[in-house]
Structure 1
């Protein structure tokens, strides 16, 4: 399964003759559909995907507003508007202006109207979460329990619902839609062909818009190739207006200048010396140039083959970005336990809260990794067993399932040391199966010593 694909020399050589957009910017691209009679001059369109990224990030913000039950019904109803859609013009909760970093939009309809997350969420089963649920059902289950939590956190089970919702959604919505739909089925010759509009009256062809939608789900600013990793990262953190404001109007336009989702985590990894963000963004850009160069005609077999090669690079590198995040947060959980395992009877509340946050990020990304085009098979089984359905909680108990009402059942036991070992095994798995390179929070040097320490534990560390 291990892959490490970058652009091949031949692909790059062919790419530079493909298009007319600014060399390092995703668009604008000319109108090539022969039937279009409107006044648009740019065929690029992915605002719907930006809107869904904002909806997902806003769900994370809403989880933090739960007060332990008193506002549960109101919180759940509001969260479901952001998940399942609403006729209302919803406020953007996740990306607001701050001093020194003005943002152009404040309401979702300024980005795109009528969008939801539920219709674009992974329909397959998610074995990493209890209850044998589909991706949509997992999200609904998380929203339900988030609404009854305290600030998005449930100390009894160690769950940070905001993190679980957002990180799983980055896979179940964005990654899944991109790699298993727009860069897969929709690249077929007869599926959204390039010599027809995507839909009646559209200013873009079938292939142009399919490719744009995948780019929108990745979440890179259109000018990402002009940025250093820290700049792309800091745009999302609202720390670098100069880097974000590509058009010089004094504010950041969420439609084209913000860093979201997969692109954010690619930039985070790249701060350690990898090149995920430029590799993925370059593949998207060169693919779009190729499509535009067809000038509204059906793509030839050779052109489609080259486009599929770009799509494969995107999928492989994006998968590694998610694996990098899984590796990183497994290391965070390991380090959190190290901070309090000397006195596990008196764990500091703030340390435990940070531990729950990091576990939510780990678990969300681990489940996200399993929503792509490729069936991970035994790798997924091992990953799910190592992480389990919950972190080890205060009394060294773990969640083993849910009851008929969807409530968590916590009747398993695991020691802190054993769970630390599992975290190191997760990191080792990400290296061996996905070839992760950034390896942030790498704690694998401690693997051999911890195995020796637990050598007498006949129950083993995994939760199977």
Structure 2
């Protein structure tokens, strides 16, 4: 679709039309159906690759020889074990800098704090930013955004929950023998469960955030088409990613019901269902709130 729109623009063909203003859309990734394809694809891929690999693959414990069931025998050439490698891969997909807990939520989200800590920091003082260890990426940033957006009466700390248990789990792996004992595996799985729960709650809370943005767009005197498409694309993309955790608290039935309420595109003026779409979005929001136990103040405020 993107390639088609790019070709239209390069050859001077008919452009998609903004259905609100009846003018050609001014962005190559925006079509006339309410899709911001850039946001939709990017946010979906964050779930389909990062969240899926991190939770279902590298932190999984259902396949012998993979994830948490990998050997903890240290490779003499690499200096780490397959289990340590799996744990570190999951940490990489979460996207946190090595000293994540030294940042404030404002700094992780690049919304305030120390000037040289906004999203990244030269922690070792070598005059360079190490992209592997000194930058916060992707999912870790969204976790901070939801933490900083949570209400004083119901503060969340998804960033610290995830990071503390990544560190604790890695410490356990480093100090365990080549084969973990049953108690060690139970403890490691507990760290994994806390990480995955915080990670997934941050994604679901981001879905709530974009439902609220869509509701604000729908309440405007004139629907802001580009903003509405962007917010819906982020909403749909992020929440499609919830399917990739096999232990998700969202049941298959509720996942289907949720996405049926969102639809395959946002409802636009003049379309069937537009007048009740805000009600549908609130019902979808209720599904997420119930599944993840979100406080009502945060559901309204994110």
Alignment TM-score > 0.5, same fold: yes
1:421 match = 279
SS at match of 1:69: helix
| Native 8 Å contact 2:107 2:117 kept in 1 | no
Q: Deviations over 1:155-180 (max 9, x none)?
A: 31111111111111111111111111
Provide the residue aligned with 2:201 in structure 1. Answer: 320
Question: Equivalent residues in 2 for 1:358-377 (5 A)?
Answer: 358-374=231-247, 376-377=251-252
Distance 1:238 1:394 in 2: 42
- C-alpha displacement of 1:423: 1.3
Give 1:48's aligned residue: none
Alignment pair present for 1:276 and 2:158 = yes
Asked if the contact 2:169/2:188 (under 8 Å) is kept, the reply is yes
RMSD: 2.9
- How far apart are residue 353 of structure 1 and its match? 0.4
Counterparts of 1:389 and 1:162 in 2: how far apart (Å)?
A: 16
Counterpart position of 1:257: 134
1:266 paired with 2:143, answer yes
TM alignment of 1:59-78, pairs within 5 A = 67=6, 69-70=8-9
Note the C-alpha offset of 1:242.
Answer: 3.5
**Aligned runs of 1:41-80 on 2, under 5 Å?**
67=6, 69-70=8-9
DSSP-derived class of the 1:230 partner = helix
Q: Distance in 2 between matches of 1:277 and 1:266?
A: 6
TM-score by length of 2: 0.82
Whether 2:210 is the aligned partner of 1:329: answer yes
Question: What TM-score do you get using the length of structure 1 for normalisation?
Answer: 0.55
CA distance in 2, matches of 1:230, 1:307: 30
Residue of 417, 425, 432 corresponding to 2:290: 432
Q: How far apart are 1:249 and its partner, in Å?
A: 3.0
- Note if contact 1:189-1:299 (Cα within 8 Å) is conserved in structure 2: no
CA distance in 2, matches of 1:202, 1:238: 38
CA offsets per residue over residues 49-105 of structure 1, 9 Å max, x none?
xxxxxxxxxxxxxx79x6463459xxxxxxxxxxxxxxxxxxxxxxxxxxxxxxxxx
Shift of 1:285: 0.6
Aligned twin of 1:247: 124
Q: CA deviation at 1:395?
A: 3.7
Q: 1:208 aligns with which of 75, 84, 100?
A: 84
Shift of 1:252: 2.6
Structure 1 spans left out of the alignment, 5+ residues: 1-62, 73-148, 397-412, 445-464
Following superposition of structure 1 onto structure 2, how do residues 21-40 of structure 1 map, counting pairs within 5 Å? none
Once residues 269 and 46 of structure 2 are traced to their aligned partners in structure 1, the CA distance between those partners, rounded to angstroms, is 29
Residue in 2 that maps onto 1:390: 265
State how 1:168-207 maps to structure 2 within 5 Å.
168-185=44-61, 188=64, 191-197=69-75, 201-207=77-83
Shift of residue 238, structure 1, vs aligned partner: 12
Which residue of the partner structure matches residue 448 of structure 1? none
Match of 1:285 in 2: 167
Within 2, Cα distance between the matches of 1:303 and 1:379? 34
Q: Which residue of 2 aligns with 1:100?
A: none
Which whole-Å deviations, capped at 9, do the CAs of 1:23-64 have from their partners, x for residues lacking one? xxxxxxxxxxxxxxxxxxxxxxxxxxxxxxxxxxxxxxxx79
In the TM superposition, residue 186 of structure 1 has moved relative to its aligned partner by: 7.4
| In 1: Cα distance, 2:214 partner to 2:7 partner | 25
Encode CA deviations 1:376-422: one digit per residue, 9 max, x unaligned.
211101111110000013442xxxxxxxxxxxxxxxx222x311111
Counterpart contact for 2:106–2:113, Cα < 8 Å: no
Bigger proportion of residues as helix: 2
Superimposed CA distance per residue, residues 288-319 of structure 1 (whole angstroms, 9 cap, x where no aligned partner): 0111112x522222111111111111111111
Whichever of the two has the greater Rg, that structure is 1
TM superposition shift of 1:374: 2.8
Structure 2 counterpart of 1:232: 108
- Which of 36, 39, 46 is 1:160 aligned to? 36
Call closer, same or farther: CA 1:316–1:187 in 2, change over 3 Å: farther
